[in-house]
Amino acid sequence: MKLGTEEIAKYPFLTEAGNYLREKGFTLEQFGSDSDLKPIIELAINRIQTAADGKIFNSDFSIKNLDKEVFSFLIAVILLKQSGMNTLIKRFSLSEARRAEKFLEKDLVNLHTNDELAIKIIKDLFSMNVTKSGDYFVIPASDYLMHAVHFHEQEWKLVNRLVDGGNVFLSAHEAVRLIRKELDNYISKKINSANIPDLPESFRSSINTLLDLAKKFKVQIIETTEQPPCVKHALEILSKGENLPHSGRFMLATYLLNKGQTIEEVAPLFKNAPDYNEKITLYQLKHLAGNFGSGTKYACPSCEKLKSENLCFATPECANIVNPLQFGRKKITNA
Ligand code: SF4
């Protein structure tokens, strides 16, 4: 499919965008040395910084800026790959996935035929067949189940959806929401597998800017000798700056609070979450710790519940326990 510049600017992670610099007659050396191109490097860093702050980059689609939009994404990918900062790569991928989600949703709503780009992206990249029918987006139930498998909220259960003739009927927002995680993974894989030539020395200061930026995401992990695997896994995800689902954050917070950690000790662990907000985190932790209302402290979810949420990473040491709080406490009995 031949894409226009605006389409590439909306979805710069598509293969079609890969050769954009060369097609437009630019080399990396030029970006490093030509002062006229400096604003693009700055825009690329701004794009990464925005993602690092947990926000979504605001695109400018005026004709004169379309090239800049594409270039800034491609340069950001090059800088990120070169910096090797996984925390920033993860944050950038998530932010860019959210950005693309907005365009996909809009494009689905404005769809005229079922062979337009938004449908093609969803089908080609994520193997999900979508067709528009009136105000709905129709997906075969088998495709729906394949993508909804990681959603635990009741609203995503098939019984709570509009289903007819083996198809599920969704809004544009829901159809796109279904592929959020996969879009995020797709972009991060693209960055990690990008084949980047040696960068000219002139890029050094931009790389250093990213290395400085990544420093603020270093988290001090609370070390205890007896952490269960599910808790270790959740801490690992956070330390890498990856997104821990809300159910995972709930488990981690309730576990640590019930183990006697203070709110002040637990709160900094979440500062790497892409949507981190200090005020909200403290409020939620106080709520979990029982500082409001009836004063009831929330319990840590059971192992069974965590298993159903794909948060359990049981090892033989987990034998015979029903709650992570028992880990290391209960002796293994021989039958
Ligand atoms: S069995 Fe329980 S403690 Fe062990 S990893 Fe699973 S949820 Fe955590």
Please give the order of strands across the beta sheet that includes 167-170.
131-133, 136-140, 167-170, 162-164
Give the tokens for residue 260. Answer: 């006697």
Residue 303 CA to ligand 1 centre (angstroms): 5
Mean pLDDT of all residues in 145-174: 89
pLDDT of residue 220: 55
The atom of ligand 1 lying closest to the CA of 322 is: 2
Atom 6, ligand 1: which residue's CA is nearest?
312
pLDDT level of residue 48 (50, 70, 90 thresholds)? very high
Cα–Cα dist 120/141, whole Å:
19
To the nearest 10 degrees (0 to 180), the angle between helices 246-258 and 278-288 is 60
* Among the ranges given (61-65, 251-255, 282-286), the one the predictor scored with the smallest mean pLDDT: 61-65
Which of the two residues, 139 and 157, has the higher pLDDT score? 139
Global pTM reads 0.67
**Is the CB of 228 within 6 Å of ligand 1?**
yes
pLDDT of residue 163: 94
pLDDT of residue 225: 61
Residue 251 CA to ligand 1 centre (angstroms): 11
**Is the CB of 37 within 6 Å of ligand 1?**
no
Cα–Cα dist 158/176, whole Å:
17
The atom of ligand 1 lying closest to the CA of 313 is: 5
**Is the CB of 289 within 6 Å of ligand 1?**
no
SS3 for 87-134 is: HHHHHHHHHHHHHHHHHHHHHHHCCCCCCCHHHHHHHHHHCCCCEEEC
**Is the CB of 241 within 6 Å of ligand 1?**
no
- For a pLDDT cut of 70, what percent of the chain falls above it? 95
Given a cut of 70, whether residue 331 has pLDDT beyond it is no
Contact in structure between 221 and 239 (CB atoms under 8 Å): yes
pLDDT in tens, 192-226: 998 887 788 888 899 999 999 988 876 654 544 67
* Pocket test residue of 247, 305, 321 for ligand 1, highest count of atoms within 8 A of CB: 321
pLDDT of residue 328: 79
Mean pLDDT of all residues in 52-74: 88
Q: How far is CA 248 from CA 101, 325, 328, in A?
A: 24, 15, 20
Atom 2, ligand 1: which residue's CA is nearest?
303
pLDDT level of residue 71 (50, 70, 90 thresholds)? very high
Mean pLDDT of all residues in 91-106: 94
Mean pLDDT of all residues in 305-321: 91
pLDDT of residue 330: 46
pLDDT of residue 20: 84
Given a cut of 50, whether residue 57 has pLDDT beyond it is yes
The atom of ligand 1 lying closest to the CA of 233 is: 5
Mean pLDDT of all residues in 51-61: 89
Mean pLDDT of all residues in 1-8: 83
pLDDT level of residue 332 (50, 70, 90 thresholds)? very low
Given a cut of 50, whether residue 101 has pLDDT beyond it is yes
